[in-house]
A and B are shown apart, each in its own frame.
Chain A
Amino acid sequence: MIPRPKPERFRLRRTMMFMNAQKPGLIKDAYIYGCDSIMLDLEDAVAENQKDAARFSLYHALKTIDYGDTEVIVRINGLDTPHWQEDIRVCVAGGADGIRIAKCESAQDVKTVEAAVEAAEKEFGVEVGRTLLMAALESPKGILNAYEICAASDRMLGVAISGGDFRKCMQTKPQPDGVDMLAARGQMLIAARAAGVQCFDTVFTDLDDNEGFEAEVRQNKAMGFDGKSLINPKQIRFVHQVFAPTEKEVIQAEKIVRAYREQSAAGVGVFTVDGKMIDIAFIPGAERTLKLAKACGMYEGDLVE
C-alpha cells in the first residue's frame, strides 16, 4: 500500500490530465508525464456497463501505484446517476487526493457530495477532511451559481469549466478567439477569486490544431487561470512553458520578497524596489511567482518552499 501524503488544498496545478480509470495501460504509469495532477475518470470515459470494473481498477491503482508528487484526483459520475455514491466510497477508501464533482450546479450539490465523503472517511478510517473537492461547471446554471459553489465547502480546491457540455447548452462551438466562452470563463474566474479557490480551463480536444491550442493556453494565462485540463501528454509541456514566469518576473519577485522581509523586520511598511512603491499588497503575488518559478526549475533560493 502506498501511503500518500495529506493533500494540499493550495498547490501548483498548471496541468490536470484526464485518464480513463478503466484502462490499466494508461493509469499504471501516468506519473511519468510530469503533469501536476492526473484526473482518473470514472465518468464519461467509462462505458455504462463498465462502471463497476473501473472502480476495482481504480482502487488497486490508488493502493499500489506510487504517483509520487503528482496529485491524483478522481472524476466521479454525476449526482443524477446511480453511480456516484459507490464512486465516492472507492475514492475515499483508496486514498485519492481529491474528487471532481461532474455537472455541479449548486452549493447543495457540493454539500451532498461532502456529506457522502465525510461518511466514507468515517467508514474507512480516513482522517475527516482529508479528501479535497473540486467542481466542474458544465451548464449555464453552474456558471451563474459559481460563487456559491466555490464557497460551499472548506474542502473546495477549485472549479473548472467543462467546454463540451457548456457550449452545447449555449448553442455555440469553439471559436478561434474564445469568444464563445469568454463570459463564462470570466464569470467563473471572478467567482473563484472572490471565494479564494483555484480556477481551471477546459480541455482542448482538437489534437491536430496546435495553433488553436497554443492561442487558447495563452488566453488562459492572460485571463488569470491557475491551469488547464488536458487530454494528451503532448499538451503538457506547452502549458508549463506558458504558465512559467519570465526570468525578469522571477528576479523582481525575489527582490520584492527579500526587501519586504528586511524592511518589515526593521519596522518599515512601505518602501521602493527599483523605483516602484512596494507594500504588503505585493507580497502574495511575488511569493506566488517564486513558488511557480521553483516548480518550473527557475528558482532555487529559500525564500519560498
Chain B
Amino acid sequence: MEILKPAMAGTLESSDAQVTVEPGASGIELNLQSSVMNQYGRQIKATVLETLERLEVSDAKVTVVDKGALDCTLKARVECAVFRSCGKSEANIPWGGAVR
C-alpha cells in the first residue's frame, strides 16, 4: 500500500501505542519511543516493520509512541494508520489476509 496522506491511530493510554504514518520517499524511516524501550525496543521495532512489510508499505515515515502495548495492539494500530492514510479503513478490510 502507498501512504497517501498523514494518518494516525491509537492513543497514549497505558497498554496502547500511537502510530503516525506520513508519506516518505526512501524506504521506512521509523522513529520509535517506548516506555519499555530497554526491555522490548527490538521486539517492538520488529513487529512494526513486519506489519508494514505485510501491508507492502515500502516508503513511509513512521512514528510510534508506545506505552507498553502488546504485539497484537501494535499491529492493530499500525494497520489502522496505514489503511486510514489510504482512505480504506472503513470497509472491506482483508481480515486474515494482509491483516493477520
Q: Which residues of A contact B (CB under 8 A)?
A: 23-25, 28, 51-53, 55-57, 59-61, 63-65, 82, 85-86, 89-90, 93-94, 124
Taken residue by residue from 1 to 21, chain B's Cβ proximity to chain A (1 for < 8 Å, 0 otherwise) reads as: 000000001100111100000
Given contacts A90-B95, A124-B95, is CB(A64)–CB(B70) below 8 Å? yes
- Assess whether B80 is in contact with A56, with CB atoms less than 8 Å apart: yes
Q: Which residue of A lies closest to B76 (CB)?
A: A56
Complex: A137 Cα to B83 Cα, angstroms? 34
Determine the residue in chain B with the shortest Cβ distance to A56.
B76
Given contacts A24-B70, A59-B76, A60-B75, contact A52 B13 (CB under 8 A): no
- B96 within 8 Å of A (CB atoms): yes
Using Cβ atoms and an 8 Å threshold, which residues of chain A touch B93? 55-56, 86, 89-90
| Chain B residues whose CB sits within 8 angstroms of the CB of A64 once the complex forms | 70-72
Partner of A86, one of B13, B15, B91: B91
Beta-carbon contacts under 8 Å, B37-95 to A:
69-73, 75-77, 79-80, 83-84, 89-93, 95
CB-based contact B99/A59 at 8 Å = yes
Contacts of A23 in B (CB 8 A): 13, 16
Task: Evaluate contact between A53 and B10: CB separation under 8 angstroms.
Answer: yes
- Note all chain A residues with C-beta closer than 8 A to B73: 24, 28, 57, 60
A-B contact pairs, 17 of them (CB 8 A): A24-B15, A24-B16, A24-B73, A24-B76, A25-B15, A51-B90, A52-B80, A53-B89, A56-B75, A56-B76, A56-B77, A57-B76, A61-B72, A65-B72, A90-B93, A93-B96, A124-B95
User: Is the CB–CB distance between A56 and B96 below 8 Å?
Assistant: no
Contact partners of B75 in chain A: CB under 8 A: 56, 60
Q: Which residue of B lies closest to A52 (CB)?
A: B89
Considering the chains assembled together, what is the distance between the CA atoms of A186 and B90 in angstroms? 39
* C-alpha spacing A23/B17, complex, angstroms: 11
Contact between A52 and B90, CB atoms less than 8 A apart: yes
> In the complex the two chains form, is A28's CB within 8 Å of B70's CB?
yes
Q: Is the CB of A59 within 8 A of B95?
A: yes
Known interface pairs A52-B84, A86-B91. Does A124 touch B72 (Cβ–Cβ under 8 Å)?
Answer: no
Distance of A161 Cα from B60 Cα, bound (Å): 48
Q: Which residues of A contact B76 (CB under 8 A)?
A: 24, 53, 56-57, 59-60
